[in-house]
Amino acid sequence: MNSSPFKGLAALLVLAVSQLIMALDYTIIFVAMPSLGMELGFSANHLQWVVSAYSLAFGGFLLIGGRLSDMMGRRRMFIIAMSLFGLGSLLGGLAESQLMLIIARGLQGLGGALLSPATLSLIMSNFEEGAERNRAMGIWAAMGGVGMSLGLLLGGVLTSFIGWEATFFVNVPIALLTVLLAPVVLKESKASSGSKHFDIAGTVSVTAGMLLIVYYLIQSPVSGWLSASTLPFLLAGAALLASFVVIEKRSKGPLLNFRMFRNRNLTGAALIAFLFSASFGTLYYFLTLYTQNVLHYSAIQSGFTFLPLTLSAFLGARLITPMITKVGISGTIASGMALGGIGFLLLTQLSVSGNAWGVIPGTIIIGLGQALVFTTMFIAGSTGVDSSEQGVSSAVINTGQQIGGAIGLAVIMAIISAALGSDTAMESMSPAALNSSIHTAFMVAAVVTLVGILVAFVALKRANKTSTEDRKVVAGH
C-alpha cells in the first residue's frame, strides 16, 4: 500500500477528484441544455441525446472497462480513461454542431466507463482493507454526492455568467492535473494471472448487447415500450447477451466469470446498486422539476436548494465506519435505504405554494441515507472478490447502477402517464398537475427503498457473518 501518509493523501485526492468530476458532469449538463439547445439548434426530441449519448457509452462499455483495468493495469487504464474524458470535455466546449457535441458526450461516457472501475480498483489496491479503505471509500463516495448536487449549482453559475461551453471546459484542467499526478501518487496494480487471452467474442457480444439494451431503455419512454422503432433493439440486445453467456462458459479466458456471482456479497451489491439508482438516482430530476417548474426558481436558486443534501452527504460519509462496526454491512445499507424512504415521504408533502425551506428536511435525510448506501454497497461488492477480478466486480456494480437509473426513471414516468391517462410532457404541465406527479414519483421511490431494505438483509445476510474480522479492524480506528 502507500508508503507515506502524504502519498496516501495525494492518492486519495486524485481518486476523489476523479469521482467528483464524473458525478458533477452527470448533472451540470441539465442546467446548460436549454442554452446549448438554442444555440446549436437542437429540436426537443434530439436534445435528449446530449444526455443519452453519455449514458449509452457509459452503460455499454462498463464491463469491458473493468476487464481492461484488470488486464492492462488499473493506473494505466485510469490515465487513458481520464485522458479520454478530458478530450471529450474539450471537444464538447469547442462543439459548433449537434453531431460534434453528441460525439463529445459519447467520448466522455466512454472515458467514464473505463475510469469508474479503474478508480474503484485503485482504492482497493492503494489502501489497506479495514478502517483505512473504508475511510477512503467514504470520502470517494461523498465526492459523488457532492458532485451531483454541486453540478446543478455550478452549471447555473457557469451558464449564466460565462456560457454553456464553460460546463465542458471546467473538466479539462482537472483531468489534465489528475493525469499528470497519477503516475506519481498511485500504485499500479493488475491481475497476476499468467494468461493474456483476451475474450474478443465475449467483449463484442456483451458490449453490443448492453448498447442495444441501454438504447432501448433511453428511447422507449419517448417512442413507446412496444414500438416497432424500439422493440427490435431490446430483442437483439437480449439475444446478444444470451450468446454472451454461452460464449463465456466456453471461453478459456472469459471476460466475466459467472463463478463470481456465487459470492452473495457481489450479487447483493449489484442488486442494491440497481435499487439505489432506481430510487435515490431519480431525486435530482424530479426535485429540479419542482424547483424550476413549480416554484419557478432560476437555475442558480435551484442549485442552492441542493446544498443541504451535499452537506448531509458529507456527514453521512463520516458515519459509515461506526455504522459498519455496530450493525455490519447489510445493517448499514438497510439503514441508508430506510433514511431515503423517510426523506422521500417527507418530499411528498411539497406544495405548489411552498419554498426551498420545505425541501430541506427531506433532502438532508436523503443525503445521509445516500452516503450510507452508496459507499457501503461498493465495500460489500469487493468483499471476498479475488484481486484479479476487482475491476470486473466494480464494473458489475456500476452496470447495476446504470441500468437501475434508466429503468427506475422509465417505470416512474410510465406510472405517472398511466395515472394521468396521457403522454403530456411533465415540463408543460400546470404547476398543480406537475406537483402531483412529482409526489407520485417520490412515493414510488420510497417503495423502492423498502425493497432495498429487504434485499440488504436477504442477499447480504452472509456479509455480516464474514465481516467480523473487518469490523474488528474498523473498530480499532
- The answer on 129 and 173 residing in a single domain is yes
Residues 106/57, Cβ–Cβ less than 8 Å: yes
The verdict on 248 and 263 lying in the same domain is: no
- To which residue does cell 442546467 refer? 31
Kindly report the CATH number assigned to the domain that includes residue 342: 1.20.1250.20
Question: Is residue 365, in this structure, part of any structural domain at all?
Answer: yes
Residue 261 cell numbers, joined? 456471482
Please tell me the distance from the alpha carbon of residue 209 to that of residue 468, in angstroms, as a whole number. 39
Rounded CA-CA distance 288/300 in Å is: 11
**pTM tops 0.85, yes or no:** no
* Cβ–Cβ under 8 Å, residues 409 and 396: no
386 and 248 belong to one structural domain = no
User: What local confidence, expressed as pLDDT, does residue 409 receive?
Assistant: 81
Residue 192 lies in a domain: no
Among residues 186, 214, 239, which one ends one of the domains? 186
Q: Specify whether 128 is located in the same domain as 232.
A: no
Question: Using CA atoms, how far apart are residues 77 and 120, in angstroms rounded to an integer?
Answer: 12
Burial class from Cβ neighbours inside 10 Å (0-12, 13-18, 19+) for residue 180 reads exposed
Domain co-membership, 127 together with 206: no
Name residue 162's amino acid.
I
The answer to whether residue 191 sits within a structural domain is no
Residue 194 lies in a domain: no
Same domain, 388 and 475: yes
Say which amino acid occupies 412.
I
From 186, 217, 242, the end of a domain falls on 186
Our count of domains for the chain comes to 3
Q: Is residue 25 part of a domain?
A: yes
The reply to whether 304 and 390 lie within a common domain is: yes
Q: Is residue 49 part of a domain?
A: yes
Question: Both 303 and 450 in a single domain?
Answer: yes
Q: CA end-to-end span of the chain, whole Å? A: 18
Q: Are residues 228 and 128 both part of a single domain?
A: no
Cβ proximity of 404 and 276 under 8 Å: yes
My answer on whether 141 and 233 are in the same domain is no
Residue 243 and residue 277 share a domain: no
Residue 470 lies in a domain: yes
Q: Is residue 352 part of a domain?
A: yes
Report whether 122 contacts 352 (CB < 8 A).
Answer: no
Q: In whole angstroms, what is the distance from residue 163 CA to residue 399 CA? A: 33
Could you list the residue range(s) of the whole structural domain that residue 123 is in? 1-186
* Residue after which a domain boundary falls, among 156, 186, 216: 186
C-alpha cell at 133: 479503505
Residue 283 C-beta-side C-alpha neighbours within 13 Å: 32
299 and 430 in a single domain? The answer is: yes
What is the per-residue pLDDT for 88? 96
pLDDT at 371: 87
Q: Distance between CA 12 and CA 10 in Å, rounded?
A: 5
pLDDT in tens, the chain (477 residues): 555 667 778 888 999 999 888 888 877 887 787 788 889 988 766 777 787 788 778 878 888 888 888 888 889 999 999 999 999 999 999 999 999 999 999 999 999 989 988 888 888 778 877 777 777 877 887 787 678 778 878 888 888 889 899 999 999 999 999 999 999 988 887 766 545 566 788 888 988 888 888 788 777 777 777 888 889 999 999 999 999 989 988 887 777 777 777 888 888 999 999 999 999 988 988 988 898 889 988 877 887 888 888 888 888 888 888 898 899 999 999 999 999 999 999 999 999 988 889 999 999 999 999 989 988 898 888 777 776 677 788 888 888 888 888 788 878 887 887 777 655 566 678 888 899 999 999 999 999 999 999 999 998 754 444 444 444 433 333
* pLDDT computed for residue 468 by the predictor: 43
